[in-house]
Chain A
Amino acid sequence: MPVKIDEAGQQIDLVQGTLEMLILKTLALEPMHGYGVTLRIEQISNGIFRVNPGSLLPALSRLERGGRVKSEWRATENNRRAKYYLLTANGRKALVTERDQWQRQILAISRILDA
C-alpha cells in the first residue's frame, strides 16, 4: 500500500490492510471527516505516520464499499460542509477481528525475532 512510514527519513511500505485497520480504529472513537482522520493518526503516532489523501481517500472508498463505514455530509465546527465517515456495526466487528489477528502476528514475529 502506498502508505509511507516516515521515520528518520526512511520510508517503508505498510503491510497491506494496516491502513484500513488504523482508519477503523480512529473512527471507532468518533465520526470524522477525511482530514480529521489524517490528523488523528499523525497526532496519536507522534508524527510517525503521515497519511496523504492519495492513500486515505481510496482506503475510505474501499471501506465504504465493503460496508464497514458509511458516510454523510455534515457541518464542521467551522460551519462548513464536510463528508463525515461513521463506523458501522460491520466495521466494529472487523476492527475486533483485525486487531486480534494483528496482535497475534506481532506476537509471533517478535517471538521469532527474540528466539
Chain B
Amino acid sequence: MHWIASLIVGLKSLFQKQRVERELDEELESYVEASVAHKQSAGITAEVAHRAAMIELGSRNAVKHQVWSSRWESTLDGILQDIRISLRMLTKGPAFTIIALLSLALGIGGNTAIFTLIDQVMLRNLPVQNPEQLVTFGPENGGGEAGGIDMGSYGLFPWYFARQLQADPGPFQGIASFCSFSDKVSVRLPSTGGAADSGTPAILAPANLVSGNYFSVLGAQPFMGRAIAPTDDDTPGSGAVIVLSHHFWQQALSSDPAILGKVISINGSPFDVIGVMPENFHGIRQEMEPPDLWAPMTMQTVILRQPSMLTPSGGLYFLDVFGRLNRYAATNKQALAQSQNWLDQQVRTGIRTEEGAKVTPARLQEISRVTVPLVDAARGASSLRDQYGDSLKILMGVVALVLLIACANLANFLLARAATRKREFATRLALGSSRARIVRQSLIETLLLSFTGGVLGLGIAFAATRVLIGFVSQGNAYIAMDPTPDTTVMLFTLGLSLLTGVLFGLAPALAAARTGAAGNLSDSSRTAQSSGGKSARLWPKMLVTVQVMLSLLLLVGAGLFLRTLRNLQNQDYGFERSHLLLAEFNAKLAGYKPSQTPGLHQRLMERLSVLPGVRSVALSASPPISAGNWSSSVTIPGYTPAPRESMHSILNRVSGQYFETVGISILAGRAFNNADAANSQKVAVVNQTLASHFFPKGDAVGRSILIDINSVKGPWQIVGIARDTRSGDPRNTDPVRMTYIPIAQIDPFLPVDSSTPAATGVVAKPAVPEENQDRFAGMILVRTTGDPAHSIADLRASVTSVDPNLPLLRITTIHDQVSHFMTHDELISSLTGMFSLLALLLASIGLYGVMSYNVVRRTNEIGIRIALGAQTPAVQWMILSESLLLLAAGVGLGLPLTLLATKYLKDQLFGLSPLDPMTFAVALFTVSAMTLLAAWLPARRATKVDPMVALRCD
C-alpha cells in the first residue's frame, strides 16, 4: 500500500506546487543559516562565512530542481507542461491543425468504419458456450429445398437422416439441425385477454424451424423462460411452442415481462410462448435478416404451410445440420479427422440406402468418395461473410493506404516545421533542456493530434457505418448489425491513433533531436532552413514519392472496380430493365386455398391493368431475375441423356402477357395467351439455351417436355422459344436453361401417389386428394409508361381493394432488383473511388506543401539567380524538374507495385483483365495531372521572387 501513499502525496504536491516550493525555499534558507552560523562559530567573519555558504549551496534553483525531479510527479508535471505547450503550438497554426485533424479524422474514421463491419461480419464469435467446438456439415450459405441431389451437397440433408444423426451423434457431443430457410409467418399477438385475438393486425416475421436439441447443442441460454427442448420436437404435428428473439419481443411485444405462457397465433394456429433469447443471439447462421421466431421442427406444416416434409425415409433436402465436436476434436487434428471420417461414413451409407439396389459399381465408387466437410462455425455460418468478406478485406486495405498517405502528409508538414523551429530547439538545448525532453514534447504534439483525430474519427465512423449498413441491408427493416462501436472497435481506434501518431511523429521528433546546440544559434533563420543537409531534404521527397505511388495504386483499383460495375450493368440481360414494377405478395399467408387462386389472380390482373399509366400486367412465381430459383430436372421424350448428363432447368410459372410485360422477346413460335386455359392443351415456352441443347436441329416447337416434379409433371407441349435471360447473379455468364409454364394450366390436385406402401405402419391417408400448392403466384409484374416508382401507391391501393388482407411483402423496380445483385460491386467501387480521390487530394496537398516550402527555403538562391540574369523559364524549370523527378520515381515504383497488387483483385473483376490498359492510362494521367498542378503553383511563385527583396531580407 506504500505506492498508494506515494501517489496521494505526489498528487497533493502537484496541486499545491506553490506550497511545496515555499517549504523548499525555507529549508534552503535555514540550511544556509545553519552553515553560516557554523562557519562563524569557527571564527570566520559574517561576510566571508555567508559567501562561503552561498558557494557551497551553488545555484539555489538548480538544487530545487534536483529535489523536484527526484519525485515521480515531476514527470507528470512535465508532461502536463508539454501538453500545454503543444496545445498552444497547435492553436497558433490553425490552418495546419485543421487540415491535420481533418485528414486524420477521415483516415481513422474510414478505418474504424470498415473495421466495425469486419468485426461484426467476420471476427465475432457466436454468443454461446465454447463456440470453437461448433462445426457445420458442409458449407451452409444457401437455403432451399431440393430433390435429386447427393446428401450433404449444398449442405442440405433430409429430415429422417438428420434425425438419425441427432439420435446417434457418434464422436460428436451432439448433432442438431434447422431449416435452411426462414420463411415469413403471419403472427397475431395476444390481446389483453391473453388469448390470441383475431382482431389484432397480423405481423410478418421470419420463423426458423429447429430440432429439439438445437439450443442445447449450440449452448445458447435463453434470456428468459426456456428454450426448445427435445420433448417439444417429438412427433410431427405436436409441440406448438415458440421461442422469440429479443428484437421481436422488444419491437412487437414492447418487452412484455409477462409474455411467457401467453398464446400467440402463427399462421392461424396457437403457439405457447416459452422463452425469449438474449439480444445478441441470432441463431447459428449470421444472416442479414435473422429469424425472429424459433419453432420445433414438428410444426413444419404450420410454419411453412407446406405438406409434411418429415417423412420417415427419402423426402426433400431442406435441413442444415451442425454438430458440437468433442473436446479432443476441437483442438486435435487427428481427432478431428476421426469425426470427419465418421460423418462421411454415415453420409455414404445414407446415400447407398437411398439409391437401393439399382446402384452400378461406378456409382458405388463415386459414393465412396463423397465427403461432407466439417466447416468451422465458431463465428456462425454466414452468407454475409461469403458475400462481403473479400470486399471488406479490399476496403480495409484501401482505407489503410489512405491513412498511410495522410500520415506521410503530416510527417512532411511536421518535418518542415521542425526545420523552422531549429533555432527554438537549439535555444532550449543551450538552456539545459535534454534531448529526450524535446523529443517527448514533439511526440506529445503529434499524439495530441492523432488522438483528437481518433475521437473525431469515431464520430465519422459511426455515421459512415450507419450509411454502410443501410446500404448493405438493402432496405431490410431490421438487420443484425449495429453501428455503435463496442470495446473491440474502441481498442482498435485507440491502437490505430497511437500507431498513427508514432508513425507520422517519429521522423520529425528524431529530426528535432538531431539539432545541434552549437552553430544553429548563430545562423540566420533562413540559412538555417536551407542548410538542413541532404538527409533533411531527402525525407520529404521520399514521402511524396510514396504518396504518388500509393495514389496510383488506389486510382487503378478504383478504376478497375468502376469498370467492373459498368460491365455488370451494361450486360445484355435479355429483358427490359426499365418501366417495370415488381411486387411480391403471399396469398398463402392471407389464408387462400390453392383452389381460390385462379379467381384471385384474375381479379388482380383486371384491377391492375386498368390503372393509369400501366401498359400491361402479369403474374409469376418468381421475378425475371432473383437469387433463389424454382428448378428441377426435365425429361424430353425422344432425347436420351448421356450418363450423368445434367437435365437441369430453371422453372417459372407465369400468367399470359408475362413475356410482353417483362420484355422478353419470343424468337420462334408464340408466347402464352388467354386461350392457354386450364382445360386446353398444356403448353410451355423454353429459352434458347434449352432449345438448342436438347433440340439441336431447331425443331423444338411442337415437341413436348416433362418436369420431374410431381405437381407440374406435364407433359407440356413447347409452343415458343424465348430469348435467354440473366436469371441470377449477373456475374454468372454461363447460359442457363429455362422452362416457362402457364400458371393457369397447373393441375388443381396432386397426383395420388399409388406407390405409397400401406404396410410401413403409417396410418393410411384418407382418399381426399391433396391440393396443389404450386398454383400460387408470388409476384405481380407491372409495365408502366412512366416512372414505375410513381405507380407504387396505385398498385398498393388496387391490391388492397381486391383484398385488404393480402400482404404485399416487397415492392421494387426492376432496376433496383437488378442492382441488388451488385450491391457489393457498387459498395466497393464507390468507396474505393471516393477514398482514392481523397488519397490523391492528400498527396497533392503534400506535394504542394513540400514544393512551396522548397521555394521559400530557396528564396535567397532564386533571388541571386534572377539577379545574375536567369530567365523565368529556367527558374520555373528548376522547380518543376524536381517535382517531375518525384513523379517519375513515384510512378516508376508504383507501376510494378500496382501490377502486382491488381493480380489479387482478379476474382472481384468482371469483363476486364486486372491489367486493363484503359484504367491504367486514366490513372496515370490523373496522377500526373494532379502532381503537375500541385508543382506548378509553387514554381510560378518562384519566378515572382523579387531579387532585391530576396537578397535584402534576413
Q: Tell me the A residues contacting B by CB distance below 8 Å.
A: 33-36, 39, 52-55, 57-59, 61-62, 65-67, 76, 78, 80-83
Does B63 count as interface, using CB distance less than 8 angstroms?
yes
Contact between A39 and B38 (Cβ–Cβ < 8 Å)? yes
Contact between A58 and B30 (Cβ–Cβ < 8 Å)? no
Contact between A67 and B30 (Cβ–Cβ < 8 Å)? no
If A53-B28, A65-B71, A83-B27 touch, whether A58 touches B38 (CB-CB below 8 Å) is: no
Does B164 count as interface, using CB distance less than 8 angstroms?
no
Interface of A is mostly: helix
Separation of A61 and B35 alpha carbons in the complex (Å): 20
Give per-residue flags for B5-44: 1 if the beta carbon is below 8 A from chain A beta carbons, else 0: 1100110000000000001101110110111011000000
Would you list 7 pairs from A and B whose C-beta atoms are within 8 A, ordered by A residue?
A54-B62, A58-B66, A58-B70, A67-B5, A76-B34, A78-B37, A83-B26
Question: What are the residues of chain B within 8 A of A54 when measuring CB–CB?
Answer: 58, 62-63, 66
Does B644 count as interface, using CB distance less than 8 angstroms?
no
Partner of B9, one of A36, A59, A65, A78: A65
Contact between B31 and A35 (Cβ–Cβ < 8 Å)? yes
Question: What are the residues of chain A within 8 A of B63 when measuring CB–CB?
Answer: 53-54, 57
Query: Can you add 11 more A-B contacts, CB < 8 Å, to A52-B57, A53-B56, A80-B34?
Result: A33-B34, A52-B56, A52-B58, A54-B58, A57-B66, A58-B69, A61-B67, A65-B9, A78-B37, A80-B30, A83-B23
Does B2 count as interface, using CB distance less than 8 angstroms?
yes
If A67-B5, A78-B37 touch, whether A34 touches B31 (CB-CB below 8 Å) is: yes
Separation of A53 and B32 alpha carbons in the complex (Å): 10
Contact between A35 and B58 (Cβ–Cβ < 8 Å)? no
Q: How many B residues touch A, CB cutoff 8 Å? A: 27
What 6 pairs across the A-B complex have the smallest Cβ distances?
A35-B34, A58-B70, A82-B30, A83-B27, A57-B67, A54-B63
Contact between B35 and A35 (Cβ–Cβ < 8 Å)? yes
Cβ of A90 to closest chain B Cβ, rounded Å: 9
Contact between B38 and A35 (Cβ–Cβ < 8 Å)? yes
Partner of A53, one of B23, B31, B33: B31
Residue of B nearest to A34 (CB): B31
Residue of A nearest to B69 (CB): A58
Question: What are the residues of chain B within 8 A of A62 when measuring CB–CB?
Answer: 70-71
Question: What are the residues of chain B within 8 A of A78 when measuring CB–CB?
Answer: 37
Cβ of B22 to closest chain A Cβ, rounded Å: 12
Contact between A36 and B2 (Cβ–Cβ < 8 Å)? no
Cβ of B880 to closest chain A Cβ, rounded Å: 58
Question: What are the residues of chain B within 8 A of A67 when measuring CB–CB?
Answer: 2, 5
Separation of A89 and B26 alpha carbons in the complex (Å): 27
Contact between B34 and A61 (Cβ–Cβ < 8 Å)? no
Residue of B nearest to A55 (CB): B66
Separation of A55 and B31 alpha carbons in the complex (Å): 13
Question: What are the residues of chain A within 8 A of B57 when measuring CB–CB?
Answer: 52-53
Residue of B nearest to A64 (CB): B9
Separation of A83 and B31 alpha carbons in the complex (Å): 9
Cβ of A54 to closest chain B Cβ, rounded Å: 5
Contact between A58 and B34 (Cβ–Cβ < 8 Å)? no
Contact between B30 and A33 (Cβ–Cβ < 8 Å)? yes
Residue of B nearest to A77 (CB): B37
Partner of B67, one of A36, A52, A58, A83: A58
Give per-residue flags for B49-77: 1 if the beta carbon is below 8 A from chain A beta carbons, else 0: 00000001110001100110111000000
Question: What are the residues of chain B within 8 A of A59 when measuring CB–CB?
Answer: 70
Residue of A nearest to B9 (CB): A65
Separation of A67 and B6 alpha carbons in the complex (Å): 9
Separation of A66 and B602 alpha carbons in the complex (Å): 95
Cβ of B864 to closest chain A Cβ, rounded Å: 52
Partner of B71, one of A61, A80, A81: A61
Separation of A55 and B56 alpha carbons in the complex (Å): 12
Cβ of A93 to closest chain B Cβ, rounded Å: 13
Residue of A nearest to B70 (CB): A58
Contact between A81 and B26 (Cβ–Cβ < 8 Å)? yes
Contact between A57 and B9 (Cβ–Cβ < 8 Å)? no
Question: What are the residues of chain B within 8 A of A57 when measuring CB–CB?
Answer: 24, 27-28, 63, 66-67
Question: What are the residues of chain A within 8 A of B28 when measuring CB–CB?
Answer: 53, 57
Question: What are the residues of chain B within 8 A of A76 when measuring CB–CB?
Answer: 30, 34
Residue of A nearest to B64 (CB): A57
Residue of A nearest to B34 (CB): A35
Residue of B nearest to A36 (CB): B34
Partner of B34, one of A52, A55, A66, A82: A82
If A53-B63, A54-B63, A67-B2 touch, whether A80 touches B27 (CB-CB below 8 Å) is: no
Separation of A34 and B5 alpha carbons in the complex (Å): 24
Residue of B nearest to A60 (CB): B67
8 Å CB interface, B198-218 against A: none
